[in-house]
Amino acid sequence: MDGRGLRARRTTHAPPLHKFEPLRRTALNRLFAAVYACAIIALLYRHAQTLLNPATSLLSFSLSLSLLISDLVLAFMWTGAQAFRMCPIRRKEFPENLRKIIKEEDFPGLDVFICTADPYKEPPMNVVNTALSLMAYDYPTEKISVYVSDDGGSAFTLFAFMEAAKFASHWLPFCREHNMMERSPEVYFASTYHSLSPEIEKIKMMYKTIKVKVEHIVDKGEISDEYIVDNEYREAFSKWTDGFTRMDHPAVVQVILDKSKDRDVLGNFLPNLIYVSRQKSKTSPHHFKAGALNVLLRVSAVMTNAPLILTQDCDMYSNDPQTPHRVLCYLLDPALQSKLAYIQFPQRFHGLNQTDIYASEYKREFQINTMGLDGLIGPGYMGSGCFFRRRAFFGGPSTLVQPEIPELSPDHVVDKPINSREILSLAHNVAGCDYENQTEHWGFKNGFRYGSLVEDFYTGYRLQCEGWKSLFCHPERAAFLGDVPITLLDLLSQCKRWCIGLLEVAFSKFNTLIFGSRSMGLLMGLAYSHYAFWPIWCIPVTLYSFVPQLALLNKVSIFPKVSEPWCFLYVFLFLGAYGQDLLDFVLARGTVQRWWNAQRMWMIRALSCYLFSSVEYLLKSLRISTHAFSLTSKVLDDEQSKRYGQGIFEFGVPSPLFVPLTMAAIINLLSFAWGLTEFWDNGNKEGLALQMVLAGFIVLNCLPIYGAIALRSDKGKMPTQIIVISTFLSMMYEIMKVKVEYIIDKGEISDEYIIDNAYREACSKWTDGFTRMDHPTVAQKSKTSPHHFKAGALNVLLRVSAVMTNAPLILTQDCDMYSNDPQTPIRVLCYLLNPALQSKLAYIQFPQRFHGLNQTDIYVFEYKHLFQINPMGFDGIMGSNYVGSDCFFCRRAFFGGPSTLVPTEIPELSPDHVVNKPINSQKNFSLAHNVASCDYENQTEHWGSKDIDFSVKDGRAYSVILRGQHF
């Protein structure tokens, strides 16, 4: 065989290559899910009872509604999580049986894709170590081709690989000779268990020489002439001209090692090693990592077109050289072969501290839940450590979507050397930034899928929707090990980027709940929805972190009393969810301490990156702002590494992500302390007990935050500005309320409240002669001049606002009528922007409605006929009358009829006037004081009596009704 096929000679007596078995706790999972679902239904019933009870006050209704929303989200996410528990399985491979079934020369070819994007955040030597560990697989080297995608277009990365190619000729035979498991040079030389023989010392020195050279040119920022050792180097770097930039450069495809001519020191074949930097232009979309992977898919098809593809992050090195053998154990099984798209290995990490304080292991996502998916259709694609069949990128299992040129077909046989002019020319062509513009399938029907920042999640999801299946391979020894963020900000920023991508999938036309369930079945649809809607955890966590605690501070009970039966429901729901989560974690070889840190990080992520990503996605959807792709730095700081190793949280850098965390920590501490005082002093032990427990639980989780705020002095402590902002936001309403109520009770504003010149100047007009009925302009009054009550005040505002801002839209509002819907102006624009209404529409009136009415409205304060029923009748004729508040006016309506504009006495009051000076300018201030004076209207004949402004007719103070009649 030529290695392209995936068939093996199997007989009925062939030894097994793999097996699987269901987890023993599956039946218990299903039983517990049924019981827990009943408890959730009971909880929702209790919420419905409270909300529908006529005796429920507005405050109780609002609190209950917020908890209902939280519990509905929690119920939805819990339902999605049950899909992972319905039929989890564990697999085992027998790679030792592989050679009994297939000869090594018949192994299929393997193309390895490694992606990097920034030589400063992803040091080239880290990428080199990953590539060398994969090139050193226990696999026929002539069948391995490694493609390195450098999306940063860095000459430093190319230089590092050209140097690494020389080292590879020594390193690969050294690995085979010593049969090592760790085949990343950096990891191997850092280990202490091998003996320091002269041979090891020699090859270690070779590696250090290359490392120093590469790090030197990165630090220096240029490749000086001393490193350009021959014409091959000179030609390779000739494309890096003055016009070559990270975001605008031609395609670079450089063959560094060619298996047809390059040999190691023992004369054996070396794998192909190809550097690829796709063409970029500021005028062409590049689709982030998915775009880079599609370029590698096309370039590799032209050059080698191996049927097997491994995608690997640049920091995930091989930890087991036998990994491809495990993959073949599945790919050679005829029962799996026809629909198997990929085999996913879990992402696992080295360098985690003992208790994994940031839950960087993502044990539930990468290991526990994935075994559950494996029992259904298979796990999702995780972006790294995944072996694909090339055929899976070209249509469903039964329908091949042919690419635009035959050289890209998964069945194409490459019959020319990779260094030939024809192959290199075609490779450069398919790596061009406008190549995909000439086609309609790439990123949508073929290749890695576009449309989300989490291209891995989205690609795996779409492949499974097309009918492909996948498998989860989880050997005891990690197949790959990678780096983890060692600062909280890096971890949260990375997670925020994922969350935005997940929301893009959740609200796309291929949404997981409807399209996914229809394509893959209900359980898979729910499982993918659990991930796609990951960010909405922010809703219940945020509400439960603030609402019960603020209610506790105000002595409002929102949970059942301890003596009530409903209390046991809350206790069961809490302990049941946390207990099952702990059991899953421990049975997956986790520790209790790591589980505790994982649940704490779940809350931290919900209050920070989940919350911010949801807001950012919403803004992006409204076209208010956009997000940019950012990398997580793989460069380690010694002090940060030391603190991480000691299990100390790293805050250090000010970030908005930390503000909600700190606010929650402060408010929960205050409410818990106040609750303890109330508990002991007043004996209120039953009504507020559950709120106390909740606040105490969150306080316990916030201990690292309190330490960072108050107890630490190192550089990783909470930045002062974050503490100040969070404390201020937590306390400012109560402080403002107390301050205002105090000065009203005292009857004066004492000097302690005049905190600066702005306050001093603002209050300077209140002299001894200043009275309610006789004072200079703030809005001037005099006993000798009529003031026309509210209509006069509104006319002053009409003139002052014209001078200062002159907005075409005006809202009049009574001081006790607060907004209950932030979308109200949008509703107004729905009418004002209608051309059929626009020319004669004076105002849009909302009904006056009231909170705090008693159950039967004994004084008929609702005025239902006046404010709701009759206005609907008016609305069918010429429109509702103006009712004095909650009304949006067109400014133009105050200055004559629809077809006749009544000119104003000064141009600055005209509705067409454009304000071109700052509102604080001396001219604007002077004119504003003038038009607010009590004798200004005496100099005119229109204000309040003819065609301009709020009317007062016949000396009566019925400005509300008359103004509506006048329009």
Give the residue numbers marked as catalytic: 151, 456
SS3 content of the chain, % helix, strand, coil (to 5): 50, 10, 40
- Given a contact cutoff of 8 angstroms between Cβ atoms, the answer to whether 471 and 340 are in contact is yes
Rounded CA separation 457/607 (Å): 23
Binding residues: 121-122, 151, 289, 313
HSE on the CB side for 361, CA within 13 Å? 24
CA 663 from chain center: how many Å?
20
Residue type, 802: A
Task: Please spell the DSSP secondary structure of 214-245, one letter per residue.
Answer: HHHHHHHTS--GGG--SHHHHHHGGG--TT-B
Say how many C-beta atoms besides its own lie within 10 A of residue 90's C-beta.
14
Binding residues for UDP-alpha-D-glucose: 121-122, 151
Rounded CA separation 340/467 (Å): 9
> CA geometry: angle at 831 spanning 825 and 835, to 5°?
135
Element (H, E) at 372: helix 369-374
3-state secondary structure of 911: coil
Residue type, 769: G
* Extended strands (E) in 540-606: none
654, β-bridge pairs = none
Say how many C-beta atoms besides its own lie within 10 A of residue 697's C-beta.
15
CA 635 from chain center: how many Å?
23
- Reference 851, options 882, 817, 822, 811; nearest CA is 817
273, β-bridge pairs = 146, 257
3-state secondary structure of 481: strand
Rounded CA separation 570/560 (Å): 9
Binding residues for Mn(2+): 289, 313
Rounded CA separation 437/419 (Å): 27
Rounded CA separation 350/75 (Å): 35
What spatial distance separates the first Cα and last Cα of the chain, rounded to whole Å?
91
Rounded CA separation 937/786 (Å): 10
What's phi and psi for 844, nearest 5 deg?
A: -120, 120
- Given a contact cutoff of 8 angstroms between Cβ atoms, the answer to whether 232 and 219 are in contact is no
Residue 914, judged by CB atoms within 10 A of its CB (0-12, 13-18, 19+), counts as exposed
Q: In what order do the strands lie in the sheet with 887-890?
A: 809-812, 887-890, 843-845
- Reference 295, options 145, 149, 403; nearest CA is 149
Rounded CA separation 604/728 (Å): 20
Q: Which pair of tokens denotes residue 796? A: 């002053």
Within 588-657, residue ranges assigned H as helices are 592-605, 611-621, 638-645
